[in-house]
Chains A and B, each alone.
Chain A
């Protein structure tokens, strides 16, 4: 008779078979049997966080920087509810997370037992799927299925809820055999005629643009390589969403910068005026489109996405292509090579006028700001950080707010999986624990969380995690003492009534760093900034960098309320009266 394993052992057997090396978690009554087995499975390393939300974001950081599923282990009740934010975040940004939660013993379910909550009920709308395991015989199958669902198709979070008695019960375990090409759900795949139509549209277009998103990153590094090949072959301009940054080199001349609410003037205007828009792995989010009725009125729209439900959800498209981004791009490239050997040449002529127009928009230099010799401008801080770290294969995470947009605008990424930010859900407090996860995955790389002082305080306790495991993450706080984005909107929409957006009692971040056993640095003037950044980079311990920046700087350019892509608000240099009026006030 084969050996019998307890449910807790099976959990680790499954993790081993799935190639999981790292889990982030926090113990508690309902997962104690699983924690008890930890010592017997040396291939799985556990990282103890300080709050379950941190475990979730760390798993996200791990997943986004490696392309593998991130795994979190939490207890029942508060453990499960604390990770809901991270699961929702992962759901919105399509990050593969497998969350294993403990549950009260099956005979107590439904009795309002201690630390009981309806975990599968609570997480149902924020996971791709979840399971309550009621029979130990189903456990292995369920966990393997969970990994399958999380990592295939459009990735996302899943949760497996395991009652404590199931963790003790024993059963057989048969080794998992990875099937080839499992697709979470069977999907209708694209066909060659759609690719032919695409190539046809591309060769006819005189004002084309690629609009790429996180789908390119999620499709794996190969997708980025193929994307570059396609973009160079066609000579078309390309813009990217917040999540897609890094798929195409940020300093390349064909790259117009990020688009959307705080995107560049040239990217948004090109989106508005184009005659062919090729959306690759993006989802026409409301921060991207601006006013929907006036979104890119003259273009034929192509949408390449692995998720059929993304198509025609917000914007009606002319040619939907459902499939994995790298497969679609690959066949597009093949088709061009086969059928239109002189595509690049014949096309260059056709789109030269388009490029002239784009260069005109570009010459406005919409990311420019008025620099100062007395105070550190936040944009300047990000620019210096970029210049001083760009040759180090740096991983950047962010929190949410102005600093996030400045990071997206001024930090140029040239590789995928280097940029981890909470886009869909906009979770303040994401960046610090995400940096922990990224550093765990890449112990020898430079990992920086570009943070705001308000956001970072939401998950500050994870500095303790970084200290415990000697993870040399760098928390680069653009400290303006305000919830900057809130203040900016209050300035624009609410007559400068800065209601509760100023933090009156901030901690001393340098002392706070020291209290955590980390290193604290501060820069208050532009002269000392470079030296301090270099000092931060050279410190081999976790650092909190308190960068005191201009308190009232706003994030520009911006598509103001109720306006379309071609009606951007530029910075203080903008002479045009472009006030937000009437109906528009509802739209920011």
Chain B
């Protein structure tokens, strides 16, 4: 194989990748999401999922929750780079396996099929706070809130029960107990 030639160094050893949930409090102004997302794409960081909405209309603050993977160094850079952005107020970082933090995603399933299939589908969803949002003679829409991998599993197992459409959010996070992140 021909040796590649370039003006730059070859990559060194790669560290172990961890999944982190980064929470960013930002001014809710035009272009702020583009700044945050552009920082990720521009510097080659991953985004697994993203959830964003205004949380304080009076102070005009939005909360962005980003699930990302990277080596410890990359995660550290992500936090420091985010903090440099002018509209960013604070940045929190949680490991996915942190027991002190709650992570939730929401999913909507549309299931089309006969009654027995639909029932089976609803039963399967029960352990994930299932809510029936819509019901017809042929179909139903089920809402669940769960962890990412649980939703992955459910969407897989609902396929044979008539799942025709799936819509899901990014993860949102909150610490347990009375403490809040400052």
Contact = CB atoms under 8 A, between A and B. Distances in A.
A308 B42 CA distance: 19
Given A586-B5, A587-B8, A185 B84 contact: yes
B76 A494 contact: no
Contact of B12 (A124, A129, A293): A293
Interface string B46-82: 0000000000000000000000000001001100110
A586 B11 CA distance: 10
Contacts of A125: 38, 42
A198 interface: no
Contact of B7 (A307, A311, A489, A582): A489
Query: Is chain B's binding surface mostly helix, strand, loop or mixed?
Result: loop
The 10 closest A-B pairs by CB, nearest first: A309-B80, A129-B86, A586-B10, A125-B42, A585-B5, A308-B80, A586-B6, A587-B9, A309-B81, A493-B5
Interface string B137-162: 00000000000000000000000000
Interface stretch (B29-37, B100-108, B167-175): B29-37
Given A132-B30, A292-B12, A307 B3 contact: no
A316 B42 CA distance: 22
A120 interface: yes
Given A291-B9, A585-B5, A586-B6, 16 more contacts: A121-B34, A124-B31, A124-B34, A124-B35, A125-B38, A129-B86, A185-B84, A292-B9, A292-B12, A309-B81, A311-B80, A312-B73, A585-B3, A586-B3, A586-B4, A587-B10
A512 interface: no
Contacts of A184: 86
Interface of A: 120-121, 124-125, 128-129, 132, 134, 149, 184-185, 286, 291-293, 307-309, 311-313, 316, 489, 493-494, 562, 582-583, 585-588
B83 interface: yes
Most chain B CB atoms below 10 A, which of A121, A286, A309: A309
Given A124-B34, A124-B35, A149-B86, A583 B10 contact: yes
7 contacts: A121-B31, A124-B35, A308-B80, A313-B77, A583-B10, A586-B4, A586-B8
Contacts of A587: 8-10
A43 B81 CA distance: 38
B80 A286 contact: no
A375 to B, nearest CB: 29
A309 B84 contact: yes
Contacts of B7: 489, 588
Contacts of B4: 585-586
